[in-house]
Amino acid sequence: MNRLNIALVVGLVAVGIYLSTLSSESVGSMKASFMSLLSPFLRTGTAMQQNIGSFGQRLKTLDELDVENTRLKIENRVLRTENSLMRETQAENQRLRLALDFRARSSHKLVAARIISRDSSTWWSTIRINRGFEDGVEADQPVVTDGGLVGKTTTVSKNEAIVVLVTDESCRIGAKIEGTREQGIVTGLRIQENTSEGMLQMNFLSKNAEITSGMDVLTAGVAHGSFPPGILIGKVREFHRRALDGQAFVEPAMDLSIIEDVFVLVGKK
């Protein structure tokens, strides 16, 4: 290796070391720009994969489509009726709160989003959604479905956001077990043995807690946390007593590998 080559290698290593010292804000904005640049290509790749995968499923007969359409129309009518009844209840609730001089409970604005691709890395559980800062999405906002908690947003670009799932170890959630006074931290497992199912662990529980399998685990809504209280995370599968504390293994509220649409809680109404 001649001197010029050695100098080039040293120069590149120096650039690498310099880049490693950049702040998370700087690299976050670089990642967001990179996402915007790569997005059309990744979307095309994922769309092709989905089209190939769902080719057999899309071959439905007209009769099947007719039945499905009728079922969806009925469901739509039922939901509309329920919605109007709930609106009345909400208005009544508001009136009573005003009469009692209660502070209004915060309700969140939801932004519907579609999952455009699933995690492409070996070690992290993430998804990409088709909503970005143009739609009011910011980093560290909770992502939910009607079934429960999905995760929280991390890197947000113009029209896309990366969501770290609850099954990822880096997503930490302050949680409580319904029907008890137990609170702890829910995280995913570092190495998920079953990638499609996923499993969560809840640590720092009391050693003597009376926790049985099937109990609901909800977000605790701790101060300065990302998650509001009362969102279903999952159900307790097992509870272990350790030397100093208790640990519960929690099954996620829904199968995260099959969800297609989510909602981002973008702030208060």
Partner 1 sequence: MKTLIDLIALFAGVFLAFVVQHALPPMDDLQGARVVLVPLVFCYAAIVLPFPAMLAAAFYTGFFSDLFYLHIVGGAVEIPMGISIIYYVILGCLASRFRSGPETAKMWMFSVLSGAGTCTFLLLQFLMITWHRGGWEWAGAAAWRILAPGLMAALIAPLFHLVVSHIDNLIPDFSRMRRASRR
Site residues (vs partner 1, CB under 8 A) = 1, 4-5, 8-9, 12-13, 15-22, 24-25, 27-28, 30-31, 34, 38, 41-42, 44-46, 48-49, 117-118, 120-124, 126, 140, 154-155, 164, 168-172, 190-193, 195-196
Q: How far is the CB of 232 from partner 1 (least distance, A)?
A: 22
Our CB check for partner 1 shows the closer of 120 and 212 to be 120
Nearest distance, CB of residue 20 and partner 1, angstroms? 4
Quick one: which of 207, 198, 201, 145 has its CA closest to 173? 201
Q: How far apart are the first and last CA of the chain?
A: 64
Rounded CA gap, 28 and 46, in Å? 23
DSSP calls for 127-183 = EEES--GGGT--TT-EEEETTEEEEEEEEE-SS-EEEEETTSTT--EEEEETTS--E
Taking the least distance from each CB to partner 1, the nearer of 132 and 177 is: 132
Cβ at position 164, least distance to partner 1 in Å:
5
State how far the Cα of 130 lies from the Cα of 39, in Å rounded to an integer: 10
User: What is the smallest separation between the CB atom of 213 and partner 1, expressed in angstroms?
Assistant: 23
At closest approach, how far in Å is the CB of 76 from partner 1?
Answer: 33
The residue (of 14 and 104) whose beta carbon lies closer to partner 1 is 14
107, two tokens: 């309700």
Number of alpha carbons in the 13 Å side-chain half-sphere of residue 54: 9
160 versus 168: smaller Cβ distance to partner 1: 168
Question: 196: helix, coil or strand?
Answer: coil
Q: Which is nearer to partner 1, 62 or 243 (CB)?
A: 243
Cβ proximity to partner 1, 12 vs 104, nearer residue: 12
Q: How far is the CB of 49 from partner 1 (least distance, A)?
A: 5
Burial class for 264, CB neighbours closer than 10 Å (0-12, 13-18, 19+): buried
DSSP at 67: H
